[in-house]
């Protein structure tokens, strides 16, 4: 296992400075965001040749790329296609779907150019509140065919680029827990280009046990986000798991944290990943409203670095 | 406190038989559903004079009415106004809102005729998945003005009928936890016609502690549903709190249960209600997929009847 | 085991009515309070011959006496001797001690007359806040000789009357947890007339585990109070275990409850008592601010009656 | 579901009196022990025609038979074949195996005569301490072929008698937890005559979650023992789960209890059985060292009777 | 946030050596005790001019002063005024009160001279055991007027010196939990000179949740003690929370510990302080009977240093 | 306290390299295995004079010896004497006992030569599955005389060599929990040469609380193994505590871990050892199937080194 970082927390820096900061903080790998919001690159420019310069800058900084990420644009595949997603790409549902499909394809192409085997991302969901069967009792099931129809071509495209799509289970996505992740795999007939970016904090927010995910779907985990989640005492008793509103609200009952500052037991998670045969990156994602960009990353490194299992296990000697 | 029953579990019977069954099961009060789906009455017919017969039948059965309920049609006030709610009333958003407003008004009028002070119900929510601020970071806040705009006239109308609206916090409603219940009250300037129908199982599903709700908003609790909630071991570790799909799925990680068969500690809840000054009904709502209609109601009575506090507390004597 | 009741909850009735109510509620035994505050008897009058009438009334009601109780006056043995205890008996420390000693002696004498082997009570404590060694680091230890000096003659007197003193561990008493109960026994050289009235709710308030008390001192348990204790969620997080002020305060974080409505697991407690060889009374003490006098007693009976172990265990047959 | 009783707790009575007691206690079914230790019948005599009388006596008492049981003699199939099992049947290992095979066959034959479809029992285990791989690291695996070799003929024999063998997972048996139960099924190629007698208390003693057993092997549960298990506080911290010695030892950290007096949540267990499609008996097994034979059975009935689900669930109506 | 140290643990050194040790251990700030027991200064001598030298020595050591402390003498404001407090200052109650008032005033004056804005301390309590309303049911309430009467002049005096009084909630003080802290504020009309020195270990001893204190009174927290608390397994089951006697007793069920070695979750506490806007000192107080003076301080630094949040949080960037 | 290491994890190296690795990893002491499986020495050769060279090599590496260990051969004292132990020493029961007695004697002799006061080891158990009293109800008790008979001469022999035998409680040993450890001491009349090697992970596997062991038998703890234990979620619900089969099975519900990666709270354990007066070695034993030999040792050092209490506690200064 190696330590990586999701570069979003360093968006205030130039790519060069961000890479240098990442290296200084002790990371070995980066997850490089390529959606339109990324200040580090323009996807079209990169495909037009810029990828060579980007790859070189990253190598020069002594870093590798664990994955490209494009959560934002993938969201439009399944929606919602209301005005909620206009800031990503305005237009009709069809236009949004087309945009998402196209942008994911370009993301895969760039990954291939950069010799990166994994793209992390979202697929969206027409109306995620349908997990609860009211007022439409079979609303969730009705969305299943759409998932298959929209995702299969994307996965075929990825396979052509020799890249795999690491879907991140998350509220608002069709696959948001272990059950829907398995359903998603079934809906695409276990397509080899589909796997998962395990973000355990998102699974805590769905109320499930990330260790159950690793135990059952470990073989499909392509990438791991090191992000933590906290039920904030004593506010959680009032917010519930499903707190709304601004992340900086002092009485918000749920918040994401840097690894080591939330509910997750990283030793158990790392051990489970090891047992399941995962030997890839732990990419620190920092969305912790209590810490500065750099201090948050530093705290995560302080917590995780001593826990990484870097050597393969030996067979029993006792 | 007295024991009541939500009549939906007896929809397979005629009103007369349902009332007789309720009485035999040991209930003293009924919550009478008046939405279009109710087989027991037609709202227009009732307002046209049928209410006298209905009231008489109920009195003849030795029962009282704790509340009328109209969850279904209230849902259309705020939506969603997509096809998901067409089964309730098809049409444009405006038509759905108008329908909801009108039906709630008639419900209040009937309540007044029947001398029932409380109507339980929903208000809906434009897009409830916005509790999580992605992809629209202030989506939940944007829905607040609409809540005020649509609910204030309804509450004024209720006040004219000397009836109060007992909103039930529930996933898919604007107010679904303690925080949003307080927000709802604030948005209507603490309108005296607004209160709550406490359904503790719904609050468990939001991940919050029903006792916190009682402690803070006890004075606004107008009605109580005795419904229980279960995280179903060992499936909950895989489903999370937010399980999707059919209620009868054997590996569903969450389900509603009859009182006494889930996570709730009814002694603590009843004690908290007593301490908060509530002395009304516990209306058994049976949506338990593991039990028959009658056996479920029987189990709930068996659990709750010995726990009811029927006498006012004495001042300390020790 | 048999079910009894502490008569204080029935102080609003005449003795005759109280006995009749106790019998109707399903109790078999009473704990009879004999301190000056008891409306049921005057200790001097009783010793002057009234005991015959009292005993007869109790027998006539079909009840037995599990113990006499005199917590109030025993308190003055060790104090505090400040004005805090003037309502019990005003005067100097010496006068208060003398009063306590005398009243306890009369209580023992009455017990002998009524053929009751146990007197439940308190001994007081000079300054109970000394459990925490600030500002006087050995304050608790300094009180030990006084315990021995004042209690030994009382115990000898009890022995002469063939009665045992069942001390109730409680905040404000020298012996308030398992450790101090054992210390108390040591200080009187294991005097055979000293035992304990186990009130598990008091032990919960000291923060200890009543089952540990039964496991270690089971052989000295002479009487048991069936009283329960509740950390009242969500207020306990703010009150702590050591809540102050009126028992009826709605946000009080701790309160006593009738058996079955608090934290105690009565099946485990009854099993532990059985295993320790105790086969006496469970005397319901009702100090529950949420229930009326009679409803509280009824709830306790409802909870405890089905749990009583009335037959001796058989040797293993499997 | 119906309530039954394992008759061992009534071995001090004649069969007639035992049946009459069972009926009075509220049971509808009995599990009838047929091993040599049973005072109620002699297997050979029964097969020789006595079965008619026995069946009649049981019917006359208004009872049915949920299963025959022969744990004791089945133990000799796999052992241990040391002197530890001489009280069951002395002799060489071969003789013991032959005895077990023969006695199980007769048990199946008697079941067929009495029209009982299930025989509960054990199979033994050569050396059960081999679950821990020291000093022989593959000791458990080495015993697997023996299980197949000895059990397959027994199962075939049972199938011929149209009876199924309900193996009870238990310490000292080859199958003692969910994993070994599945291994056992695999070793006999999922033989249709093999199922399980779920004794949840035994599973608690193995440290596993009985609900996991029901969730995974529910379809193979043929019979259920209503027996409870207790980690006895505070002794369990010293004994551990694996307490040794006499069941009546007061400081024994583990003991079996009657249903409702241990760790098991019977509502959850009954709900899980219902969800898994089980609709058979809950047969009370009383091995509780704290209660008399009859009081223990009474306590179990008091706890379980109100929890039984007697009607099939209705499809959702809400 | 910065790390500080309460100098009492270094009383065996000269001030110079203590400062030097503090610096070497990694502290940046000191809490300087100024009561008569402090070997580091004489309050009168300091006010007479010595403060310049003291301030210089501290600056020379590269340290700052987070607060002066005078717990001991403040105790005499409210008592107890029995012989228990004679070691602090002998005399009548009036003399003790006068002494406390005078010493607190001088402490405030010295703080002003040293440009330190905070004085930590106690106020005492007439009879703290009155939190439990026996035998005087309103004993605690009776003490409230005295608190106001004695504290208001002290606070006015502090305000004149531009210093705030950081009261430490603690057993034996009038304000010992969240409720009494709020009561204290109310009794002095929210006097701006009154705030709190949060010692979370003391709050654990009162049985409450320190996070609740931070959530509700965070804006009044002027200073923080980094001290931990442990319920010592398995002794706590016997001692209860309220263990008496010597801190070194091996079976004492409760003890204070250095930060990181007790029950407190310092990440959660630091996060709560951050969310509440606190950005001051964490002053390590070492009263851990299991560690030497220096090793204890070292362990606390090892635990806390990596957890300090030194940078302000950034606004959300994700 | 000092940090040591059990050398088995370094069996792939020569003694010289193993010592050098141990030193580099930060250990100060070694536990030296001397059974026939140890590649580091031959017991006979060592006694014939090799001990001088071995001792010198260890001293040269800057290391000390905390104990010799001979678990393997000690196992044969009590068995099992079946073929399960043939790999240790084949032969009849008598031959195995003789071999064990002889090898333990030589081990003690070598310890004396090397000036090591402690030998860690096992004694075995005839049939450990007898902890559960089925089918032989007094099987465990029957083994007690054998323990006394075989161990007493060994202990006398050890005493002659001025060495103590530190028995390690473990499944498959006669003494496997606190109760049997005390029984073992009783059976040898509290022989001064008998003490314990506390391996807390083994006690977790027996289901008991290691802190209870330290509290009661702390004075007999001669040596401590720093080994951790994990109930592996979510598999433990299926395996139970008593998982069988290969340590590397991915769904094994129980496994040993390096210190800090399992269930144990090392701060609490170290504090308990300190309070009980233990000031010896924490010898890291690495049997963690998820980590390589060296990485596992490194992780253990990283966890434990900052927790060691190296200085004696000071008397209270506050």
Residues 6+ apart with CB under 8 A from D98: none
Is B135–A253 a contact, with Cβ atoms under 8 angstroms apart?
Answer: no
Q: Supply the pLDDT for residue F315.
A: 95
Q: To the nearest whole percent, how much of chain E has pLDDT over 90?
A: 100
Tokens representing B70 are 């109209």
Q: Which of E212, E276, E313 sits opposite A291 (nearest CB)?
A: E313
CB pair distance less than 8 Å for D251 and C215: yes
Which long-range CB contacts under 8 A does A142-150 form with residues at least 24 apart? A143/A78, A143/A174, A144/A183, A144/A187, A146/A78, A147/A78, A147/A123, A147/A174, A147/A184, A147/A187, A147/A188, A148/A187, A148/A188, A150/A77, A150/A78, A150/A97, A150/A101, A150/A123
Question: Cβ separation of A291 and E310 shorter than 8 Å?
Answer: no
Cβ–Cβ under 8 Å, residues E176 and C124: no
The answer to whether A250 and E276 have CB atoms below 8 angstroms apart is yes
How do beta strands D281-284 and E2-6 pair?
A: unpaired
Residue C202's pLDDT band (boundaries 50, 70, 90)?
A: very high
Contacts of B295 in chain D (CB under 8 A): 309-311
Cross-strand partners of F271: none
For D281-318, write each residue's pLDDT tens digit: 999 999 999 999 999 999 999 999 999 999 999 999 99
| Local confidence band at D35 (pLDDT 50, 70, 90 cut-offs) | very high
D55: phi > 0 → left, psi -120 to 50 → alpha, else beta; which?
alpha
Q: What are the distances in angstroms from CA B202 to CA A84, A112, B258, C173? A: 27, 48, 13, 46
- Give the pLDDT confidence score for residue B277 in this predicted structure: 97
CA separation, residue E59 to residues E43, E62, E222, E279, F302 (Å): 19, 5, 22, 21, 36
D9 vs D14: CA distance, rounded Å: 12
d(CA F256, nearest CA chain D) in Å: 12
Q: Cα dihedral angle (C191, C192, C194, C195), rounded to 10 degrees?
A: 130
pLDDT for B14 equals 98
Smallest Cα distance from A232 to chain C, Å = 14
Question: Which of E136, E170, E177 comes nearest C84 by C-beta?
Answer: E136
Q: Which residues of D touch B247 (CB under 8 A)?
A: 316
Chain D residues in contact with F177 (beta carbon < 8 A): 238-240, 242-243
| pLDDT band (50, 70, 90) for residue C206 | very high
Chain B residues in contact with C238 by the CB 8 A cut-off are none
Convert the pLDDT of each residue in D42-70 to its tens digit: 999 999 999 999 999 999 999 999 999 99
- Give the DSSP H/E element, type plus range, for residue B72: helix B71-74
C-alpha to C-alpha distance for D136 and D113, rounded to whole angstroms: 45
Give the pair of three-digit tokens for residue F255: 């496994």
Please tell me which residue of chain B has the smallest CA distance to C252: B275
**Which chain C residue's Cα is nearest to E182?**
C238
Against chain D, the chains showing at least 3 CB pairs within 8 Å are B, C, E, F
What residues form DSSP beta bridges with F198? F224
Find residue F121's DSSP bridge partners.
Answer: F70, F167
Which pLDDT does position C208 carry in this prediction? 97
Q: Does the model's ipTM exceed the 0.85 cut?
A: yes
Which of B209, B276, B310 shows the shortest C-beta gap to C295?
B310
pTM score above 0.80:
yes
Residues of chain A predicted below pLDDT 50: none
* Residue in the structure block whose two tokens are 């000693």: C101
**What is the Cα–Cα distance from A206 to A202, expressed in whole angstroms?**
7
Q: Which residues contact B22 (CB under 8 A, 6 or more apart)?
A: B5, B7, B10, B30, B61, B63
Question: Which of A208, A238, A244 is closest, CB to CB, to B131?
Answer: A244
Q: Is E32 helix (H, G, I), strand (E, B) or coil?
A: strand
- How open is the CA angle B206-B211-B217, to the nearest 5 degrees? 90
Classified as helix, coil or strand, E17 is helix
Query: What would the pLDDT profile of E201-258 be if each residue is shown by its tens digit?
Result: 999 999 999 999 999 999 999 999 999 999 999 999 999 999 999 999 999 999 999 9
Tell me how close the Cα of F18 comes to any Cα of chain E, in angstroms.
Answer: 30
Residue of A nearest to B235 (CA): A208
Q: What is the pLDDT of residues A96-137, one digit of tens each?
A: 999 999 999 999 999 999 999 999 999 999 999 999 999 999
Cα angle: A229, vertex A231, A237; to 5 degrees = 160
Cβ contacts of residue E115 below 8 Å, gap of 6+? none
Among the listed residues B56, B1, B2, the one whose alpha carbon sits nearest the alpha carbon of residue B26:
B2
Residues in chain B within 8 Å Cβ distance of C299: 306
Chain A residues close to C237, C-beta within 8 Å: 234
Beta-carbon separation of D206 and F241 below 8 A: yes
List CB contacts (< 8 A) between A199 and chain E: none
Q: Would you call D2 exposed, middle or buried from its count of C-beta atoms within 10 A (0-12, 13-18, 19+)? A: middle
Chain F positions contacting chain B at CB under 8 Å are 234, 237
> What CA–CA distances, in Å, run from D75 to A219, D98, D119, D120, D184?
41, 12, 14, 12, 15
Q: What does the H/E/C string look like for chain C?
A: CEEEEEHHHHCCCCHHHHHHHHHHHCCCEEEEECCCCCCCCCHHHHHHHHHHHHHHHHHHCCCEEEEEEEHHHHHHHCCCCCHHHCCCCCCCHHHHHHHHHHHHHHHHHHHHHHCCCEEEECCCCCCHHHHCCCCCCCHHHHCHHHHHHHHHHHHHHHHHCCCEEEECCCCCCCCCCHHHHHHHHHHCCCCCCEEEEECHHHHHHCCCCHHHHHHHHHHHEEEEEEEEEEECCCCHHHHCCCCCCCCCCCCCCEEEEECCCCCCCHHHHHHHHHHCCCCCEEEECCCCCCCCHHHHHHHHHHHHHHHCCCCCCCCCCC
The span from the CA of A115 to the CA of A92, in Å, is 34
Give the 3-state secondary structure of residue E172. coil
* F214, F303, F318: best to mutate for the E interface, most E CBs within 10 A: F318
User: Looking at chain D, how many residues does it have?
Assistant: 318
- Opening angle at CA E274, ends E276 and B136, nearest 5: 85
Chain B: give the shortest CA distance to residue F236, in Å.
12
For residues F105-126, average pLDDT: 98
**How far apart, in whole angstroms, are the C-alpha atoms of residue C130 and residue E243?**
10
User: What are residue E195's phi and psi, to 5 degrees?
Assistant: -145, -160
Q: What integer pLDDT is reported at residue A82 of this predicted model?
A: 96
Q: What number is the average pLDDT over the span C30-43?
A: 98
Q: What is the pLDDT of residue D94?
A: 98
Please answer whether residues E63 and E16 qualify as being in contact, where contact means their C-beta atoms are separated by less than 8 angstroms: no
| Residues D103, D94: Cα–Cα separation, whole Å | 14
- Give chain B's end-to-end CA distance (angstroms, integer): 25
CA dist., res. B191 & res. B211, Å (int): 23
For residue A41, give the nearest of A120, A32, A106 by alpha carbon.
Answer: A32
Q: Which structure tokens are listed for A70?
A: 């494009």
- pLDDT of C101: 98
Lookup: tokens for E26: 């990694």
Confidence of residue C215 (pLDDT cuts 50, 70, 90): very high
Set of chain B residues whose Cβ sits within 8 Å of the Cβ of D304:
none
Note whether A213 and A184 are within 8 A (CB). Answer: no
> Which residue does chain F place closest to B236, by CA atoms?
F234
């Amino acid at each position: 296992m190696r330590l990586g970082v999701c570069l979003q927390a360093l968006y205030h820096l130039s790519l060069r400075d961000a890479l240098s900061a990442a290296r200084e903080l002790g990371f070995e790998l980066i997850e490089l965001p390529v959606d339109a919001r990324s200040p580090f690159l323009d996807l079209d420019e990169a495909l037009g040749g810029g990828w060579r310069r980007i790859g070189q800058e990253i190598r020069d900084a002594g870093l590798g790329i664990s994955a490209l990420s494009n959560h934002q644009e993938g969201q439009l595949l399944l929606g919602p296609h209301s005005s909620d997603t206009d800031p990503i790409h305005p237009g009709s549902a069809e236009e949004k779907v087309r945009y998402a499909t196209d942008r994911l394809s370009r993301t895969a192409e760039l990954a291939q150019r950069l010799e990166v085997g994994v793209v992390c991302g979202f697929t969206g969901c027409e109306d995620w509140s349908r997990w609860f069967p009211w007022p439409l009792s079979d609303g969730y099931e009705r969305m299943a065919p759409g998932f298959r129809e929209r995702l299969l071509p994307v996965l075929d495209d990825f396979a052509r680029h020799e890249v795999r799509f690491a879907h991140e289970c998350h509220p608002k996505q069709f696959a948001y827990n272990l059950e829907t992740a398995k359903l998603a795999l079934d809906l695409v007939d276990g397509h080899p280009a589909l796997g998962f970016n395990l973000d355990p904090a998102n699974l805590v927010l769905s109320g499930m046990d990330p260790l159950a995910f690793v135990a059952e779907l470990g073989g499909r985990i392509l990438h791991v986000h090191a992000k933590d989640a906290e039920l904030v005492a004593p506010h959680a008793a009032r917010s519930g798991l499903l707190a709304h509103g601004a992340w900086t609200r002092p009485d918000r009952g749920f918040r994401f944290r840097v690894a080591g500052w939330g509910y997750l037991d990283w030793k158990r998670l790392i051990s489970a990943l090891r047992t399941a045969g995962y030997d890839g990156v732990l990419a620190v994602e920092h969305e912790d409203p209590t810490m500065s960009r750099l201090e948050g990353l530093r705290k995560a490194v302080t917590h995780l670095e001593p826990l990484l299992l870097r050597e393969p296990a030996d067979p029993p000697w006792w």
